[in-house]
Amino acid sequence: MRTPLRALRQCAREAWEGLHRNASLSLLAAVAIGIALYIGGLFLLVRFNLERFVRALGSDLQVQIYLADDATAETVERLKNEVLSDPAVEGVATVSRDQARQRFEATFPALRDLARQIGGAPFPASIDVTLRPAYRTVEAIDLLVKSYRKAPGVADIRFDLGWLQRLSGIVALVERGGFAVGALLALAALVSVGATVRLTVLARREEIEIMKLVGATAAFIRAPFLLAAAVQGLLGGALAAGALLLTFRLVVRSEFYRANPFLSIVVGRLPPAPHLAALAAAGALLGLVAAALSLRRAGTF
Amino acid sequence: MIQLFHVTKKYAAATPALSDVSLHIEKGEFVFLTGPSGAGKTTLLRLLFRDEIPSAGQVLVRNENIATMPRRRVPGLRRQIGVVFQDFKLLPRKTVFENVAYATQVIGMPPREQRARTYQVIEMLGLNHRLHNYPEQLSGGEQQRVAIARALVNRPLILLADEPTGNLDPDLALEIMTLFKQINSHGTTVLIATHDREMIRRMQRRVIALENGMLVAGGDTMAELPAGGRA
């Protein structure tokens, strides 16, 4: 009986023969996949960096519960404990009026005099609430605000999620754009790999006919084509990952990058190795799908 | 071994390639299938190794209706049938040895057995001195012998040959026919399609004749499907 290892060896030999016989076409198909994945990879790079930026900003996100002037220490303590027990809350910190003033002066040294000119204690005491990552959403914050807005001792609740939402919107836009452009280019790559498979089938028509005659199974006939296409795809994916790495290096070493700090938000970091490996794997998958569709269309098995 | 019941095969053309053909070939028989060009000989052979499906009727090989056989089982059927063509159908990039061994590779025979069987059949057909030659370096007769070797290497129960001597001179044709006789003497059922009347006369074997897709002689017709036959 056929052992899996022997079958694999035979399949690899046939696949290599197919690739070798149509070397230039195979290379062309790999490059087509490479270009599609490279463009997709550029979007991935931007999305990765923007998302990272948004996450970093999100981790600083706080909700400030301003305390009423007449709130007693006991009320504040009760409120603090109540907030702390909320599942959305990671931690709380009480900020007294003096601390609030000091914080303002440290943040805006140029306006230090303004606070003194007003006199008294213009900054209200507050409870600064840090949210758990899973709850840094509009809905969760809304719920929190509704729960505590009318609680005893609360004067007002402030948070600023707008800019975070806007940035998240940009990330989503980049993601969608990447998918759209990537899908379009992937389609072109599918056609290219499909054409290579069809030509290889055509070139090996006689051989396939003989294989069928002597009782080769459909899987045995198809497997080398699928393997060859997966290799082309993997090669294309590796090309894309390499080109992405090269592009990244060239960009971060350029004068333009140094002159535009905004660029570090968009392309400051290379996605980690597993992301790049996924790009190569996506190439192999693309090759497999193209070959499977093409073999089905060839309908000779 | 082979039974056809009221088999009709229609292509796009108005006249059917085969029309209501019924015949019966016993295990170990040597049978000629004859008729003028376009009589339906090739179509009949192609029905037997499930390269075609009949438009009507039943084709039984070893009591199994292969017309309704699921596709996944077709390779199993073909491993029991060796096929030889007039144009040899050899792979030009492979040597004699590789061409013959190829048939054993695709069915997943262990390598040691592949080599043993290939050498054995090549020796039987007198091609030892041509092992490492490519098809284009061989004569027509030698190429046909390689094709026969490939058809035999998996020890089929049935050997089908479509005009196997059509491209050969009379002496070589006789040599090939003698080979078929030898193969048949080992128990393989042999069905040869040919319009070479002189050859048929010399071989003195059973003849099935077709004309315009209809059986005109030698079908050993059975009107009904036998009770034991699987449909």
Distance between CA B225 and CA A215 in Å, rounded? 28
> A52 and A172: one domain?
yes
- How many CB pairs below 8 Å do chains A and B form together? 48
Contact between chains at A6 and B108 (C-beta distance less than 8 A)? yes
Apex B87 CA angle, B85 and B89, nearest 5? 75
pLDDT tens-digit series, residues B98-114 = 999 988 988 888 889 99
Contact between chains at B102 and A214 (C-beta distance less than 8 A)? yes
Within a 10 A sphere around the Cβ of B20, how many other Cβ atoms? 15
CA pseudo-torsion sign A19, A25, A31, A35:
negative
A212 vs B contacts (CB less than 8 Å): 75, 78
The domain spanning residue A78 has which CATH number?
A: 3.30.70.3040
Extract the tokens encoding A188: 């072109």
pLDDT recorded at residue B101: 93
pLDDT recorded at residue A208: 83
> A93 and A113: one domain?
yes
B interface residues, A as partner, C-beta within 8 Å: 49, 71-72, 75-79, 83, 89, 91, 102-103, 105-108, 110-111, 150, 154
Length of chain B: 231
Contact between chains at A216 and B107 (C-beta distance less than 8 A)? yes
Domains: count for chain A: 2
Best CATH choice for the domain B1-80+156-231 from the list 3.40.50.300, 3.30.200.20, 3.40.50.720, 1.10.510.10: 3.40.50.300
Q: Enter the DSSP assignment of A272.
A: P
pLDDT recorded at residue A120: 65
Distance between CA A55 and CA A254 in Å, rounded? 27
pLDDT tens-digit series, residues B140-155 = 888 988 998 999 898 8
CA distance between the termini of chain B: 15
Are B181 and B25 contacting, i.e. CB atoms less than 8 angstroms apart? no
Of B78, B91, B111, the CB nearest to A215: B78
Of B102, B108, B150, the CB nearest to A2: B108
Q: What is the mean pLDDT of residues A17-36?
A: 82
CA within 13 Å, CB half, A283 = 31
Contacts of A14 (CB under 8 A, 6+ apart): A223, A224
Apex B200 CA angle, B196 and B201, nearest 5? 115
Contact between chains at A213 and B77 (C-beta distance less than 8 A)? no
> A217 and A124: one domain?
no
Q: What is the mean pLDDT of residues A162-183?
A: 77
Closest CA in chain B for residue A217: B75
pLDDT recorded at residue A280: 85
Query: In the structure, what pLDDT confidence band is assigned to residue B157 with cuts at 50, 70 and 90?
Result: very high
Domain termination residue (choose one: A108, A130, A159): A159
Type of residue numbered A84: L
A interface residues, B as partner, C-beta within 8 Å: 1-2, 6-7, 10, 206-207, 209-218, 220
Of B72, B111, B154, the CB nearest to A214: B154
B110: closest CA of chain A, how far (Å) = 7
Distance between CA B195 and CA A55 in Å, rounded? 82
pLDDT tens-digit series, residues B29-81 = 999 999 888 888 999 999 999 988 999 999 999 889 988 888 888 998 998 89
3-state secondary structure of A151: coil
Say what the ipTM of the complex is: 0.77
Contact between chains at A214 and B76 (C-beta distance less than 8 A)? no
Contact between chains at B89 and A213 (C-beta distance less than 8 A)? yes
Contacts of B1 (CB under 8 A, 6+ apart): B25, B26, B27, B28, B29, B61, B62, B157, B158, B189
pLDDT tens-digit series, residues A99-136 = 888 887 887 776 677 767 776 667 889 998 888 888 87
A158, β-bridge pairs: A64
Are B37 and B210 contacting, i.e. CB atoms less than 8 angstroms apart? no
A2 vs B contacts (CB less than 8 Å): 108
User: Domain map of chain B by residue range?
Assistant: 1-80+156-231, 90-155
Percent of chain B with pLDDT over 70: 94
> A247 and A126: one domain?
no
Domain termination residue (choose one: A159, A188, A212): A159
Q: B10-14, B64-68, B88-92 — which is least confidently predicted? A: B10-14
> A105 and A193: one domain?
no
Check whether A19 has a pLDDT greater than 90.
no
pLDDT tens-digit series, residues A275-296 = 888 888 888 888 888 888 888 7
Where in the sequence is the domain holding A209, given as residue range(s)? 4-56+165-298
pTM listed for this prediction:
0.64
> A221 and A276: one domain?
yes
A207 vs B contacts (CB less than 8 Å): 91
pLDDT recorded at residue A300: 55
Type of residue numbered B111: P
> A70 and A42: one domain?
no
Extract the tokens encoding A73: 């220490």
Check whether B160 has a pLDDT greater than 90.
yes
pLDDT tens-digit series, residues A52-105 = 877 777 666 778 899 988 888 898 899 999 998 988 888 898 888 888 888 878
B42 vs A contacts (CB less than 8 Å): none
A206 vs B contacts (CB less than 8 Å): 89, 91
> A50 and A66: one domain?
no
> A170 and A260: one domain?
yes
A216 vs B contacts (CB less than 8 Å): 75, 106-107
Query: In the structure, what pLDDT confidence band is assigned to residue A29 with cuts at 50, 70 and 90?
Result: confident
pLDDT recorded at residue B39: 87
Q: What is the mean pLDDT of residues A264-271?
A: 82
B102 vs A contacts (CB less than 8 Å): 210, 214
> What's chain B look like in SS3?
CEEEEEEEECCCCCCCCEEEEEEEECCCCEEEEECCCCCCHHHHHHHHCCCCCCCEEEEEECCEEHHHCCHHHHHHHHCCEEEEECCCCCCCCCCHHHHHHHHHHHCCCCHHHHHHHHHHHHHHCCCHHHCCCCHHHCCHHHHHHHHHHHHHCCCCCEEEEECCCCCCCHHHHHHHHHHHHHHHHCCCEEEEECCCHHHHHHHCCEEEEEECCEEEECCCCCCCCCCCCEC
Round the average pLDDT of chain A to a whole number and report it: 82
pLDDT recorded at residue B224: 36
Q: Enter the DSSP assignment of A228.
A: H
Apex A224 CA angle, A218 and A229, nearest 5? 120
